[in-house]
Amino acid sequence: MIKTAICVKELSFSYINSAILDNVNIEVDIGKLTIILGRNGSGKSTFLRILAGLLPLSKGTVTILGSDISRLSFSDRAKLVGFMNQQHKAIFPFPVEEVVLTGRAGYVNYSPKAYDRKVAHEAMEKVGIEHLSGRKYNELSGGEQQLVMIARVLAQNPKVLLLDEPTSHLDLYYQSRILRLLKDLRNEGMSIVCVFHDPNLAFIHGDDFLFVKEGQVIRSDAGCPPWDTNFLKTIYKVPLVAIPYNGRSLIVTELE
Amino acid sequence: MRKKFIKILFYSLPVPVIIFSLFIGASKTVSINDIYSLFISLFSDNSIADEKFELVRSIVINVRLPRVLLTFLVGGALAVSGCSIQSIFRNPLTDPYILGLSSGAAFGASLALAYTFLPVQVSAFVFGMIAVGLSYFLARKRKNVSTVSLILAGIIVTGIFTALLTLVQFFSDPFKLQSIVHWTMGNLHNATWAKLKTSIIPVSLGVFVLFIYSWRMNVLAMGDDEAKTAGLNPDRDKLIILTATALATSSAVAVAGIIGLYGLIVPHMIRMMIGMDNRLSIPLNFLFGGVFLLVIDNFSRSFSGFEIPIGVFTMLIGAPFFIYLMKKTNIGWE
CATH code, domain carrying B88 = 1.10.3470.10
* pLDDT above 70 for A45: yes
Which residue of chain A is at minimal alpha-carbon distance from B275?
A94
Cα A168 to its chain centre, rounded Å, is 12
Q: What is the pLDDT of residue B195?
A: 86
Domains defined along chain A, listed by start:
4-219 (3.40.50.300)
Q: What is the pLDDT of residue B78?
A: 95
Which residue of chain B is at minimal alpha-carbon distance from A98?
B277
Instruction: Report chain A residues whose CB lies below 8 A from the CB of B280.
Output: none
Q: What is the band of A190 on the pLDDT scale with cuts at 50, 70, 90?
A: very high
Contact of A165 with A48, CB cutoff 8 Å: no
Which residue of chain A is at minimal alpha-carbon distance from B228?
A74
Instruction: Report chain B residues whose CB lies below 8 A from the CB of A92.
Output: 87, 90, 92, 221, 276
Is B27 inside any structural domain?
Answer: no
Of B90, B213, B225, the CB nearest to A54: B225
- In whole angstroms, what is the distance from residue B199 CA to residue B252 CA? 7
What is the side-by-side order of every strand in the sheet holding A160-164?
A81-84, A160-164, A191-195, A33-38, A208-213, A216-218
Helix (H, G, I), strand (E, B) or coil at A60: strand
Q: What average pLDDT score do residues A228-250 get?
A: 91
Contact of B269 with B325, CB cutoff 8 Å: yes
* Segments in chain A forming alpha helices (H): 44-51, 74-80, 96-101, 114-127, 142-155, 172-187, 199-205, 229-236
Of B90, B219, B227, the CB nearest to A91: B90
Of A53, A93, A101, the CB nearest to B331: A93
CA neighbor of B177 nearest in space, from B127, B109, B117? B109
Is B216 inside any structural domain?
Answer: yes
Instruction: Report chain B residues whose CB lies below 8 A from the CB of A79.
Output: 231
Of A79, A82, A102, the CB nearest to B218: A102
How is B152-221 classified by DSSP, letter by letter?
HHHHHHHHHHHHHHHHHHHTS-HHHHHHHHHHHT---TT--HHHHHHHHHHHHHHHHHHHHTHHHHHHHT
Of B218, B231, B333, the CB nearest to A106: B231
Is B334 inside any structural domain?
Answer: no
Instruction: Report chain A residues whose CB lies below 8 A from the CB of B219.
Output: 102, 105
Instruction: Report chain B residues whose CB lies below 8 A from the CB of A91.
Output: 90-92, 221
Mutate to test the interface with B, among A62, A74, A86, A119 (most CBs of B within 10 A): A74
Instruction: Report chain B residues whose CB lies below 8 A from the CB of A95.
Output: 275-277
Is B243 inside any structural domain?
Answer: yes
Q: What is the pLDDT of residue B290?
A: 96
Q: Does the distance separating the beta carbons of B332 and A139 come in below 8 Å? A: yes
CA neighbor of A106 nearest in space, from B219, B232, B88? B232
Which residue of chain A is at minimal alpha-carbon distance from B233?
A74
Helix (H, G, I), strand (E, B) or coil at A220: coil
Q: Does the distance separating the beta carbons of B91 and A102 come in below 8 Å? A: no
Instruction: Report chain A residues whose CB lies below 8 A from the CB of B212.
Output: 110
- In whole angstroms, what is the distance from residue B269 CA to residue B328 CA? 11
Task: Give the count of beta carbons closer than 10 Å to the beta carbon of residue B46.
Answer: 6
Is B121 inside any structural domain?
Answer: yes
Q: What is the pLDDT of residue B29?
A: 64
Number of domains observed in the structure of chain B? 1
DSSP state letter for B143 = T
Task: Give the count of beta carbons closer than 10 Å to the beta carbon of residue B200.
Answer: 15
Q: Does the distance separating the beta carbons of A88 and B276 come in below 8 Å? A: no
Is B124 inside any structural domain?
Answer: yes
Q: What is the pLDDT of residue B332?
A: 60
Q: What is the pLDDT of residue A202?
A: 93
- In whole angstroms, what is the distance from residue A183 CA to residue A188 CA? 9
| Span A20-36, pLDDT tens digits | 898 999 999 999 999 99
Mutate to test the interface with A, among B209, B229, B237, B240 (most CBs of A within 10 A): B229
Q: Find the helix packing angle between B278-303 and B262-274, rounded to 10°.
A: 120
Mutate to test the interface with B, among A98, A138, A141, A157 (most CBs of B within 10 A): A98
Q: What is the band of A176 on the pLDDT scale with cuts at 50, 70, 90?
A: very high
Q: Does the distance separating the beta carbons of B92 and A92 come in below 8 Å? A: yes
Instruction: Report chain B residues whose CB lies below 8 A from the CB of A136.
Output: 332
- In whole angstroms, what is the distance from residue B191 CA to residue A79 CA? 51
Of B219, B225, B276, the CB nearest to A85: B225
Instruction: Report chain B residues whose CB lies below 8 A from the CB of A83.
Output: 225, 229
Determine which helix (DSSP H) or strand (DSSP E) holds B286, and give its type and residue range: helix B278-303
Instruction: Report chain B residues whose CB lies below 8 A from the CB of A57.
Output: none
Determine which helix (DSSP H) or strand (DSSP E) holds B15, and give its type and residue range: helix B14-21
Which residues does B contribute to its contact with A (CB < 8 Å)? Answer: 87, 90-92, 212-213, 215-216, 218-219, 221-223, 225-233, 275-277, 279, 331-334
Cα-based distances in Å from A207 to A32, A38, A178, A217, B302 = 6, 17, 16, 17, 76
Q: What is the pLDDT of residue A145?
A: 94
Give the pLDDT of chain B (334 residues) as one tens digit per residue.
Answer: 678 888 899 899 999 999 888 888 777 667 777 777 777 777 666 555 677 777 888 888 888 899 999 999 999 999 999 999 999 988 888 888 888 988 998 899 899 988 878 888 889 889 998 999 999 889 887 667 777 888 899 999 999 999 999 999 999 888 888 888 888 877 787 788 988 998 999 999 999 999 999 999 999 999 989 999 999 999 899 989 999 998 999 889 888 888 878 998 999 999 988 889 999 999 999 999 999 999 998 888 887 667 777 878 888 887 888 788 777 766 666 5
Q: Which domain holds residue B313?
A: 70-328
Lowest model confidence (mean pLDDT) among A76-85, A192-201, B319-328: B319-328
Q: Does the distance separating the beta carbons of A91 and B91 come in below 8 Å? A: yes
Helix (H, G, I), strand (E, B) or coil at B135: helix
CA distance A173 to chain B (A): 26
Q: What is the pLDDT of residue B1?
A: 67
**Which neighbouring-strand residues pair with A242?**
A251
